[in-house]
Amino acid sequence: MKYNKKTKLFSRFVRILVKGNKYLIAILFCIMLTIAGLDLIEPQITRTIIDNAIGLKNTNLLIKSILLYTLVIIISAILNIVLTYLESIMKKRIAIKLKNRSLKHLSKLSGNYYSNIKTGNIISILNSDIFNIENFGIEILLSIVIDIITAVATLIILINLQPDLLIIVLVIQLIIIVIQTKFSKELSNKTKEIRQKDGDISNLIQEYVSNIMNIVISKSKQNFFKRYTKEQRILTNKCINLDLKIAKNTSEINVMSGLIIISIFGYGGLKIINNELSLGELISFQQYIGLLIMPCTRIVNSNTRIQQALVSAERIFELIDEPIEIQQNNVGKKIEKDDNCTIKFENVSFSYTKEYKNLDGINIVFKPYETTALVGSSGSGKSTIINLIFRMWDVDDGEIYINNVDIREYNLKNLRKNISIVTQDSLLFDDTIKNNILLNRKNIEEGKFINLCNKLRINEFVDDLEDGFDTIIGENGVKLSGGQKQRLSIARALLGNEKIIIFDEATSALDNISQKIVLKTIKEFTKEKTVIFIAHRISTIVDADKIYVLENGKVIEEGNHIELLKNNKVYRKMFVQEDTIK
Ligand code: ADP
Ligand code: MG
């Protein structure tokens, strides 16, 4: 990473940590400073105890010094508890803030992003990376400042105490710092590799767990485990390798630290023998060296932790910086309560990828009080039209109007609030049947709900269940049949007050008789709405006011059922084919 980019990343990271936590940080800083100050007093007391109290056999001074020492230790301990408590509050706050922000941003991205999304990676960012940041905590940055202050203060004291002994110690310490700096770079690279691999494995597991039923049925377990084992082995090796490197580094540092102790007692001891130094001075020198080394190692170590946190921060920023391609247009026009919606496609062209036009010069009108149907073979672009109305993507060419205003001029939230889409496999929650239909909407009358469920014949199968409408249907409704799930989704949509209601192959799992009943109910409940009906079975849409036939992203025929049959082209062929298959 370039230096400049890294500083930018770092300063942004710090700003996120600091925002909203200023007072807390100020308090933390004061407490840390006090603890550091108390640390600096301790060796002075030691020296007094050894040289003045013990050396001069002064019991009175000994008692006083010991009481003072005890007081310092107790205050330090209490302050440490307060410190940890405040840090913990702040860490949680930051983690929750980042998580919320990422989750909200995710919902604002385009269909394009969702089509290429790797769920496991996102989950790994939301869990592991945010956890890393949480674990990191701003206190490391604060303690660096404190450590620098402590180190400088200690250094001044040490220079006054024993300059020549200090030089020996500093040389060894310098070597330690060089080793650590080199190591921290290596650590940062290795950590990044491991996080990436971890994301890949999460993806695999996610795919496996969320499709477990299909995987068992299609007997593709072997395939999963082959890939999984391979990836897991690579990850394991990387982790072991890293642990080994960390252990090696720790040992190196331990040896060097040992050398420091040896030189203090060797050289210092010699000086005491020659009467150039008192025992108290040597002991306090050793304590001060500890106070110098500890902050220095902490500073170097925090560098590695900062590197690790920055790797995570970068991944989180990548997610929250993902550009919002579909403009929200918060000040845009709104669809009012009494509006009916006429949707008009004018020369709309669109492609998901640049190579192929998925929609090519489409002209279509969807009117209120009418049902407009789209038919055509699979892949002809029917669902794509719906994606454009809902603005999961925006058109490449041409315009889509609602009541003669370009849909891009509408407030996106308001636009989507007015559109209800029922797809072949609508989202069902692991909740009761009733909650799945009502979806927390409090304003739906009980009478209307019961009437609708009766008409859609939802009651027929609900009455057979022990808990009736309070039966929990399992994740994505696994405990229901395809047709039952579709009835719930349709009921959910029909109870809403969206102006535009779209059924995309929403009755595909129903048998012919059930379908007729459901269609009749849909008609009854959507009178003043703009209804769009997509089906591959023509029998489903014969009653539509207007039918568009699509092929390869183009409208090739339009009219009502009778007109299209007279036309004697593709539609008629499709209709006849369907009839003979039946
Ligand atoms: P259908 O008429 O069956 O509803 P679609 O509108 O879903 O057809 O798809 C039209 C074409 O666009 C198909 O060729 C399909 O492969 C392609 N397509 C659909 N969704 C995407 C996507 N998210 N990314 C890329 N291509 C897509
Ligand atoms: Mg489709």
- The per-residue pLDDT for range 483-495, each reduced to its tens digit, is 999 999 999 999 9
Residue nearest ligand 1's atom 15 by CA:
379
Q: Which ligand is nearest to the CA of 380?
A: 1
Please report the atom of ligand 1 found closest to the CA of residue 112.
23
Centre of ligand 1 from the C-alpha of residue 319, in Å? 26
Tokens 């192929």 sit at which residue? 356
Chain segment 148-186, per-residue pLDDT in tens: 999 999 999 999 988 988 998 889 888 888 888 888 888
pLDDT value of residue 5? 83
Mean pLDDT value of segment 563-577: 89
Tell me: pLDDT of 242 over 60: yes
Please report the atom of ligand 1 found closest to the CA of residue 115.
23
Alpha-carbon span 433 to 429, nearest angstrom: 9
Centre of ligand 1 from the C-alpha of residue 114, in Å? 14
pLDDT value of residue 392? 93
Mean pLDDT value of segment 97-113: 91
Two tokens, residue 90: 């702040």
Residue nearest ligand 1's atom 6 by CA:
381
Tell me: pLDDT of 207 over 90: no
Alpha-carbon span 518 to 446, nearest angstrom: 20
pLDDT value of residue 299? 83
Domain ranges of the chain: 3-320, 343-581
Alpha-carbon span 325 to 111, nearest angstrom: 9
Residue nearest ligand 1's atom 16 by CA:
379
**H or E segment and range at residue 103:** helix 59-106
Ion ligand 2 nearby residues (CB, 5 A): 383
pLDDT value of residue 532? 96
Centre of ligand 2 from the C-alpha of residue 535, in Å? 9
**H or E segment and range at residue 96:** helix 59-106
Please report the atom of ligand 1 found closest to the CA of residue 386.
6
Please report the atom of ligand 1 found closest to the CA of residue 374.
2
Please report the atom of ligand 1 found closest to the CA of residue 385.
6
**pLDDT, the chain, mean:** 90
Alpha-carbon span 431 to 422, nearest angstrom: 19
Mean pLDDT value of segment 65-82: 95
Architecture of domain 343-581 in this structure: 3-Layer(aba) Sandwich (3.40)
Tell me: pLDDT of 582 over 60: no
Alpha-carbon span 542 to 520, nearest angstrom: 12
**H or E segment and range at residue 88:** helix 59-106
Cα-trace Rg, the chain: 36
The SS3 call for residue 254 is helix
Q: Which ligand is nearest to the CA of 377?
A: 1
DSSP letter string, 382-416: HHHHHHHHTTSS--SEEEEEETTEEGGGB-HHHHH
Tell me: pLDDT of 389 over 90: yes
Residue nearest ligand 1's atom 8 by CA:
379
Chain segment 532-557, per-residue pLDDT in tens: 999 888 888 999 999 999 999 999 99
Please report the atom of ligand 1 found closest to the CA of residue 534.
4
Beta strand 397-402 pairing with 405-406: antiparallel
- Is the separation of the CB atoms in 345 and 558 below 8 Å? no
% residues pLDDT > 70 (the chain) = 99
pLDDT value of residue 394? 94
DSSP 52: I
Burial category of 337 from C-beta neighbours within 10 Å (exposed 0-12, middle 13-18, buried 19 and up): exposed
Say which residues have a Cβ less than 8 Å from residue 1's Cβ, sequence separation at least 6: 9
Residue nearest ligand 1's atom 19 by CA:
384
pLDDT value of residue 441? 86
Which residue among 117, 383, 554 is best mutated to probe the pocket of ligand 1, counting the most ligand atoms within 8 A of its Cβ? 383
Alpha-carbon span 213 to 556, nearest angstrom: 40
Indicate the residue type of 480.
Answer: L
Alpha-carbon span 516 to 228, nearest angstrom: 47
Q: Residue 516 to residues 214, 314, 327: CA-CA distances in angstroms?
A: 31, 55, 40
Mean pLDDT value of segment 462-486: 89
Centre of ligand 1 from the C-alpha of residue 389, in Å? 15
φ and ψ at residue 561, rounded to 5 degrees:
-55, -50
Which of 317, 294, 309 has its CA nearest to residue 139?
309
pLDDT value of residue 489? 93
- Is the separation of the CB atoms in 360 and 349 below 8 Å? yes
Pick from 102-106, 203-207, 392-396: least confident: 203-207
Residue nearest ligand 1's atom 14 by CA:
379
Residue nearest ligand 1's atom 24 by CA:
352
DSSP 322: S
Say which residues have a Cβ less than 8 Å from residue 245's Cβ, sequence separation at least 6: 183, 186, 187, 190
Domain 3-320 coded CATH 1.20.1560.10: yes
**Residues enclosing ligand 1, CB less than 6 A?**
115, 352-353, 358, 376, 378-384
Neighbours of 335 (CB within 10 A): 21
Centre of ligand 1 from the C-alpha of residue 383, in Å? 7
Length in residues, the chain: 582
Residue nearest ligand 1's atom 7 by CA:
383
CA dihedral 131, 132, 134, 137 (to 10 degrees): 170
Angle at 80 between CA 79 and CA 84, to 5 degrees: 120
pLDDT grade for 509, boundaries at 50, 70 and 90: confident
Which of 10, 260, 32 has its CA nearest to residue 147?
32
Centre of ligand 2 from the C-alpha of residue 504, in Å? 7
- Is the separation of the CB atoms in 390 and 402 below 8 Å? no
Centre of ligand 2 from the C-alpha of residue 533, in Å? 11
pLDDT value of residue 563? 93
Centre of ligand 1 from the C-alpha of residue 414, in Å? 26
Residue nearest ligand 1's atom 23 by CA:
115
pLDDT grade for 581, boundaries at 50, 70 and 90: low
Number of H helices, E strands in the chain: 20, 10
Two tokens, residue 480: 């229901």
Which residue among 113, 116, 351, 358 is best mutated to probe the pocket of ligand 1, counting the most ligand atoms within 8 A of its Cβ? 358
pLDDT value of residue 52? 92
Which of 314, 308, 311, 320 has its CA nearest to residue 100?
320
Please report the atom of ligand 1 found closest to the CA of residue 381.
6
pLDDT value of residue 510? 87
φ and ψ at residue 553, rounded to 5 degrees:
80, 10
Residue nearest ligand 1's atom 27 by CA:
352
Centre of ligand 2 from the C-alpha of residue 571, in Å? 18
Chain segment 114-149, per-residue pLDDT in tens: 888 888 888 888 888 998 888 887 778 888 888 999
Please report the atom of ligand 1 found closest to the CA of residue 504.
4
Centre of ligand 2 from the C-alpha of residue 359, in Å? 13
Centre of ligand 2 from the C-alpha of residue 536, in Å? 9
% residues pLDDT > 90 (the chain) = 51
